[in-house]
Amino acid sequence: MLDQVRVLAFDIFGTTVDWWTGVSRQVDEIAAERGVELDGGAFAEAWRDRYAPSLRRVIVGEGPFATLDVLHRESLDDLLLAFGAADAFDEASRERLVRAWHRLPAWDDAVDGLSRLGRGYVVAALSNGGFALLTNLVKAAGLPFDCIISAELAGSYKPDPRVYRHAAGLLDVQPAQVLMVAAHGWDLAGAREAGMRTAFVERPVEKGPHREADRRADVDCDLAVAGFAELAEALGR
C-alpha cells in the first residue's frame, strides 16, 4: 500500500515542532518584559484553541483567505482582552507575540529523521502556517525539507481536501503517491479524503502537560509510529 509513495508531507505544529513549549516560553518572556503576570502555558493553550474555529471560517468561505499570522493576530487581540492584559501590550509587543509562532523548537528526532527520510523520498512541509512563517521556522530550526508547501498556496486550510490535492499537483504526483505525516487525526482524515496515504506520529505532550494529545488507538491511519526515527525504520531508511 505504501510502495507507491514518493513524497512524505509533514505537518509542522505539534508533529515536527513543539509549539506548546516554544509559544509558552516566548509569552512568559515578553510578559515579564512588559511587567505583566501571564501564565504562558495557559495563554498558549487558549491561543491554540482559537485555531480550528478561525480556520473553519476560511474553509467554509465565511471570510476571505488570510494568512495564519493575520488569524493569530486577531485571536491574540481577543485573548489579551479576555486575560485582562490588553493595556500592557503595545503594537510592537503584539507583533513579537505573533512572530513567536515563527520560532519554535523542533522535536528531538525531527532533524535526523528528516535527513534519513530525505534519502529515499521528497520530504515536504505541508502546513497551515503561511509561506513566510514556514520559511522562517524551517530555517531557524534547521529542518532539512526539500520544499515548503503552505496551505496559503491553495488559498484554504487543512483539513480542506483541496489543500492536499493542490500540494500533490504542485509536486506532479497523484495523491496516493503522498504519505501525509501528522500528529492529529483531523489532519490525516483530510489527507485521506483527498486520496493520500496517512502516517500518524504519536506526540504525547504536543498539547502541553495539561491536555491529552491524539493517541494511536483513536486515529484511523495506514501507519502509526512513535516518532520520526520509527517512521524512517518503518519505511526502510
Which residue, chain included where needed, has cell 485573548? 79
**Cβ(129)–Cβ(15) below 8 Å:** no
Q: Which stretch binds a copy of itself (CB under 8 A): 11-19, 132-140, 199-207, 225-233?
A: 132-140
Per-residue x/- track, 171-200, a copy of itself (CB under 8 A): xxx---------------------------
153 belongs to the binding site for a copy of itself (CB under 8 A)? yes
Q: Report the alpha-carbon angle 15-136-12, nearest 5.
A: 10
Question: Residue 208 interacts with a copy of itself (CB under 8 A)?
Answer: no
Question: What is the contact mask toward a copy of itself in residues 156 to 175, using x (rule: CB under 8 A)?
Answer: --------------xxxx--
146 is a site residue for a copy of itself (CB under 8 A): yes
Q: Would you count residue 132 as binding a copy of itself (CB under 8 A)?
A: yes
- Mode of pairing for the β-strands spanning 122-127 and 197-201: unpaired
Verify cis geometry, omega within 30 degrees of 0, for the bond prior to 159: yes
Least distance (Å) between residue 134 CB and a copy of itself: 8
Residue 34 or 135: the one with the smaller Cβ distance to a copy of itself is 135
Residue 46 contacts residue 210 (beta carbons within 8 Å):
no
Helix, strand counts (H, E) of the chain? 10, 6
Q: Is omega for the bond preceding 209 within 30 degrees of 0, making it cis?
A: no
Query: How near is the Cβ of 165 to a copy of itself at its closest, in Å?
Result: 14
H-helix or E-strand spanning residue 140: helix 131-141
- Any bridge partners for residue 178, and if so which? 7
- Contacts with a copy of itself in 50-109 (CB under 8 A)? 67, 69
Residue ranges in contact with a copy of itself by CB under 8 A? 67, 69, 118, 122, 124, 130-132, 134-136, 138-139, 146-148, 152-153, 170-173
